[in-house]
Chains A and B, each alone.
Chain A
């Protein structure tokens, strides 16, 4: 595991070289966060101060935690491995005595964890200062929340990696990426909490790994889900992660046999 920890650290440091980009991202997060909280808090207000269990404070917590996570989870872009598959640079990864999938995900997770510093925490800070969000007063939700957050971030990169492996068979995966972006953007609970969806859509969402990327970590961290329910969510996240990793392993093995690195 020392190998993957080292690669994760390298990803972390790599991302630290892109601070201006992180601040631009933060600005965008904050702008959309204000818009999102404006709409959602109005809905809570219209519901007489309560909407499906959300109060103004907990809704604000949802908004700013979800905005803060955006720099760390990957639901919008192709992973670095997709570009390497397309360019053939993935060949270099196969020449190392390490697991190509785990190394690639470790690198992306490292980058994601760094993004918590310039994008995640300030985004939450903006929420606390401007809107006022209700957060738990005990330690346990934060401890469970940290684990859930780590699982969610890792799961998002494991899913993105799986998406990227389509590049072994397709020349261009951008079309697939746009489709993924739309589905994942909605079902992770980025736009509104999954729990505000109509019943049928909520049922679809919870049957996919997407809420485990963002919705569950936010629920655990904000103290909306506690106790054994919180532990159950963590178990569900771990289950999806195991599945995504296993599927990625299979795809990498099959893809490697079709790999045609031409020229140079």
Chain B
């Protein structure tokens, strides 16, 4: 994954960014991003996650060329973001969930037209791409509505469309589903999955919503206090921190609390008809736990719950905190 090849879309090496923070009369330096090194290959979908203030947005801004690094190197699409700002702007699309790139007082359609002109799209390409995005993002009903009158869900779809109008190689989404209802989130995620499949767009996503990561990303970078705390698959993340899986069994008859070696009884429902058992997948297997349960009672049905990603990320933080203190 390291090394600069033509297939590398983002490469950061020893990337750092300090901020001067005024605290009364004193000025102290705050390191938002601390010597980070990682890269993203073309076509990947990467979730960049971490707590508030962990350094996510700061990194994104340096990748996009709107923030100058204090130290280290960053290459995006093979370009130096600050120096090659305009060239890079033609190759990436960025959505900041909390900032709009649309013309507030004008109809949505107008914003697309202006952005197409800014990206020097031919009329034919502009029309084809706009039609495609309007259809897949279901924006037909509100193309003529001024942006300020859109609902948040409608506006976010328009923002994403605006960022994708010029078919960027890399789409950076900074908190794209913030404040969206379940249905709007779902639609946006479905669209992004489709867009990636059809155009091979590389995706880098910061989010607090683990649903985004689970549904959209095949790789996760966890950042904590400006440092990379984890880099790998989502499943691997669960394994790394030893998050527990939960086996839920429905029994034929009410039963006392099950005692199973290698598993922890969490709770019983229906007087013992349904019982929840947590186990560490690294220490034992679901089959072994189930076999032990079957020796004690008749199992009618079962489900296995995967660890919640919020929980996994919290554990990463806790681990980092205890190891650093």
> Residues of A with Cβ closer than 8 Å to B?
2-3, 6-7, 10, 13-14, 17-18, 88-89, 91-92, 94-98, 103, 256-257, 259-264
Contact = CB atoms under 8 A, between A and B. Distances in A.
Contacts of B65: 94-95
B257 to A, nearest CB: 48
Given A92-B99, A92-B101, A98-B86, A6 B114 contact: yes
User: Of residues B86, B92, B100, which shows the largest number of chain A Cβ atoms within 10 Å of its Cβ?
Assistant: B86
Most B Cβ at <10 Å: residue of A14, A95, A257, A263: A95
Contact of A95 (B19, B82, B89, B110): B89
Contacts, number: 82
Given A13-B106, A259-B67, A264 B97 contact: yes
The size bracket of the interface on B is: 35 or more
A256 B83 CA distance: 11
Given A13-B106, A92-B96, A264-B96, A97 B87 contact: yes
Given A7-B117, A262-B19, A264-B98, 13 more contacts: A6-B114, A10-B106, A14-B103, A17-B106, A89-B99, A91-B61, A91-B96, A92-B99, A94-B85, A95-B64, A95-B65, A95-B89, A259-B67
B118 interface: yes
Contacts of A256: 66, 82
Contacts of A7: 114, 117-118
Of all A-B residue pairs in the complex, the 7 with the closest CB atoms, nearest first, are A264-B98, A6-B117, A97-B89, A97-B86, A91-B66, A14-B105, A17-B105
Contacts of A18: 105
A171 to B, nearest CB: 10
Interface of B: 19, 57, 61, 64-68, 82, 85-87, 89-90, 92, 94, 96-101, 103-106, 110, 113-115, 117-120, 146, 174-175
B205 to A, nearest CB: 15
Contacts of A95: 64-66, 89, 92, 94, 101
B133 to A, nearest CB: 18
A6 B119 CA distance: 12
B90 A259 contact: no
B101 A260 contact: no
